[in-house]
Amino acid sequence: MNNVASLCHSAWECKYHIVWIPKYRRKVLYGHLRRHLGETFRELARQRESVVLEGHLCPDHVHVYISIPPKYAVAQVVGYIKGKSAIHIARTFGSRARNFVGENFWARGYFVSTVGRDEQVIREYIQRQEAEDRRLEQLKLPPCVRIVVASP
């Protein structure tokens, strides 16, 4: 019970594996944008008393392993993180400076699964995602064409 947190009248251990994608599954989560999103997600989660335990930004989706206190609904925290991060992206990387309510950067919806005894399996899965994505991209490459020049 060393991972159990507590509020005034309750002890809890609520951990979730959450996945969401950018709008139209655009592969925009690399480079300059990728370096800033991890810290942005951690800060936004902290504002909702949640903790990002593990995370990975793949080219076209985000994996987050997060601990959320029971006084917040998962939908509330995910909506907050997605909404505020979209505004942050638009202000920082776009030309929108103020009075901006958000851009449709993230697609609607998300996948969520509770994490219980298989916590280590979920952590390893998230950590392996980038290698697996690279492997799948390699399978999509057209086969090499070997050109044989006949000698006279």
Contact 107, 22 (CB under 8 A): yes
Kindly tell me the sign of the dihedral angle through the C-alpha atoms of 41, 44, 48, 53: positive
Tokens 């609904």 correspond to 73
Q: Tell me the chain's radius of gyration from C-alpha atoms.
A: 20
Run of H or E residues at 126: helix 119-140
Distance between CA atoms of 88 and 103, rounded to whole angstroms? 10
CA distances from 28 to 12, 22, 58, 89 (A): 36, 8, 9, 11
The residue annotated as part of the active site, out of 30, 72, 110, 125, is: 125
Q: Does the active-site annotation cover 125?
A: yes
The catalytic residues are 125
